[in-house]
Structure 1
Amino acid sequence: MNLSQHTFWKKYIARVKIDVDHAAYTKVVRSWTDVIPACPVNRLYFIIEGEGYVKIGDQTYYPKPGELYLLPAGRDQAYGTISDDTFGKYWCHFTAKIGDLDLFQILSTAPSIVVKDPVLLKETFEKLISNRRSDAFSAEFRVTGILHELIAEFIDGNAAVKLNLATTPTYEKMNGVLRYMEQHMAEQISIETLAQLAHYHPNYFINAFKQFTGYSPIQYMNHLRSEKAKDLLLTTELNVSQIADAFGMELSYFSRMFKEQTGFKPTAFRDLRPR
């Protein structure tokens, strides 16, 4: 995966829409047990004390205090106790959707991490619980932000994160389109050409492309061009006119496009280079 694709996928997963169903601290009872086929929500369990088990698909795990577990949506989930020394745990149930897909269908991870700073994570969960119960107008903004922080903590601490792109129904088609666009930035590419690459009708293609990338085709092409132009401005001595020519664009159109994408005129952006 090249740098441009990596940047795209980072932004793609950041479009996740999060909704927190429940959050609390619980010292579970001895009878705590359940089996949930194809569970519709993600579950985060931060284990503080005790013992028990969780099951994801056909794999059974025995979480220890100080570990943060994720039971991903769409998988068979189960949990239970194994002794009178039951779990004391912070937990939350949430959905995390990108279009019709769950985030952790696209992003594959190990089921758990060892928390580096348990005190800080406990405080984060306490903030989540407090804001989940709050009537303040700002509460949902804070809840969403805190859960983003928890997900980021889980991802950053995870040694087995990878994109599971085969789960994305349109991935193979759209990835071919994205590669073609990246290889032909200097050309004026028609919607019909891109639609043919994906084997879609042009009208359907535009909607499918925007759902997949968050951009219209022209917006995405201009995003590619601006990213490449930033690199050329910072690492070469090509003048702005030469860079515009490299993309097959009139200087005035290129300068306008670049400012719309970055907030800077090309010459002003070049002035940001360390001297």
Structure 2
Amino acid sequence: MKANEQSFWQTYLSGMKLHVAIAHYTKVPPSWNEDDYVPDVNKLYWIEEGEGYLKVGDHKVLPKPGELCLLPADVRQSYGTTSDNTFGKYWCHFTAKVGSFNLFELLKTPITVRIQDSERVRESFKRLVHYHNSTEWTAAIHVQSAMLDLIAAFVEHADPITVQAPASGTMDKMNVVLAYIDEHLSESLTVDQLAQLVHFHPNYFIRLFKNTTGLSPIQYVNHKRMDKAKQLLAFTNKSVSAIAETLTMDAPYFSRLFKEYTALSPTDFRELALAGSEATVPNPS
């Protein structure tokens, strides 16, 4: 993946919106079966025991214990048992939106992946099930955390995985804009200027950009500038004022924006980064 495409996906996925509709552990009955239906949610299964089959499109698999299985939304699929030794599985139904798209419209993955660190997935599913059914006021945060960990585990182990453009031609145009933004963070950037790069009316460009990335053009530019600021604070001796100037901002606005993005002032972030780097230096004794 090219650097500007990787930058796009990092920012794109950071704006993902998740909703978990249901989460449980089930020992499925021998009658567990449905053919050729199209769900409007994604389904994730962690197989603990037993056997059965899953089919997505024309691809049929026989998952085994220790495998994480994904059945994406809006795709024809089937499932069923193959013996009385039925699946015992953790499972959930969820939606994952990036911009206006379903995540697994954009990421094409295998149906199953084998996870070496099975305890990681098991504990994430246990947390997901517990907090999805909890009345604790922090439950929603734990649900999001557990679900993100499960999605990350699946994607990290998926091979092959295909990342495709959100819509025909959109990625090419966005790559032009994103590459330009990366190369000109130290210059003033306007919506009109970015829209002209791809010959769009500014109003249409704003809608397209937000539908594609989940962020407005200005939010995206600020996001990238704050990423650049973190690098400069951690790895250079430039003053906060000099970094702000590098990013075409006055120092008070830069400091305020940086704190909005990181919950730390630039000075506090630098001190934390330096303390972390010093902690990794081995003791000479």
Q: Same fold (TM over 0.5)?
A: yes
- Once residues 109 and 237 of structure 1 are traced to their aligned partners in structure 2, the CA distance between those partners, rounded to angstroms, is 43
Alignment of 1:71-150 (within 5 A): 71-150=71-150
For 1:145, the aligned partner's letter is S
Contact 2:4 2:179 in 1 (8 A): no
Q: Which residue of 2 aligns with 1:262?
A: 258
Normalising by structure 2, we get a TM-score of 0.78
What whole-Å deviation, never above 9, does each CA across 1:168-222 have from its counterpart, x for those lacking one? 7733322222222233344434432322333432123223323433443334334
Structure 1 gap segments, 5+ residues each: none
- Once residues 197 and 178 of structure 2 are traced to their aligned partners in structure 1, the CA distance between those partners, rounded to angstroms, is 10
Q: Which residue of 2 aligns with 1:67?
A: 67
Contact 2:5 2:175 in 1 (8 A): no
For 1:28, the aligned partner's letter is V
Query: Structure 1 residues 198, 80: CA separation in 2 closer, same or farther (over 3 Å shift)?
Result: same
Which structure has more RCO (C-alpha within 8 Å, separation ≥ 6)?
Answer: 2
Stretch deviating more after TM superposition (234-243 or 140-149): 234-243
Aligned length: 271
Q: Is 1:9 equivalent to 2:38 in the alignment?
A: no
Query: Structure 1 residues 194, 30: CA separation in 2 closer, same or farther (over 3 Å shift)?
Result: same
Query: Structure 1 residues 182, 81: CA separation in 2 closer, same or farther (over 3 Å shift)?
Result: same
Normalising by structure 1, we get a TM-score of 0.80
- Once residues 270 and 127 of structure 1 are traced to their aligned partners in structure 2, the CA distance between those partners, rounded to angstroms, is 34
- Once residues 120 and 240 of structure 1 are traced to their aligned partners in structure 2, the CA distance between those partners, rounded to angstroms, is 40
Contact 2:43 2:94 in 1 (8 A): yes
Give the secondary-structure state (helix, strand or coil) at the position aligned to 2:188: coil
Stretch deviating more after TM superposition (192-201 or 75-84): 192-201
Contact 2:240 2:266 in 1 (8 A): no
Contact 2:101 2:166 in 1 (8 A): no
- Once residues 241 and 7 of structure 1 are traced to their aligned partners in structure 2, the CA distance between those partners, rounded to angstroms, is 26
What whole-Å deviation, never above 9, does each CA across 1:68-87 have from its counterpart, x for those lacking one? 11111122111111222222
Query: Structure 1 residues 142, 189: CA separation in 2 closer, same or farther (over 3 Å shift)?
Result: closer
Contact 1:101 1:168 in 2 (8 A): no
Q: CA RMSD in A?
A: 3.3
State the shift of 1:93 in Å.
1.2
Contact 2:166 2:212 in 1 (8 A): no
Contact 1:233 1:270 in 2 (8 A): no
Stretch deviating more after TM superposition (221-230 or 5-14): 221-230
Contact 1:52 1:81 in 2 (8 A): yes
State the shift of 1:243 in Å.
6.4
What whole-Å deviation, never above 9, does each CA across 1:218-256 have from its counterpart, x for those lacking one? 343344344445545665677778767766x4xxx3434
- Once residues 30 and 216 of structure 2 are traced to their aligned partners in structure 1, the CA distance between those partners, rounded to angstroms, is 54
Identity %: 42
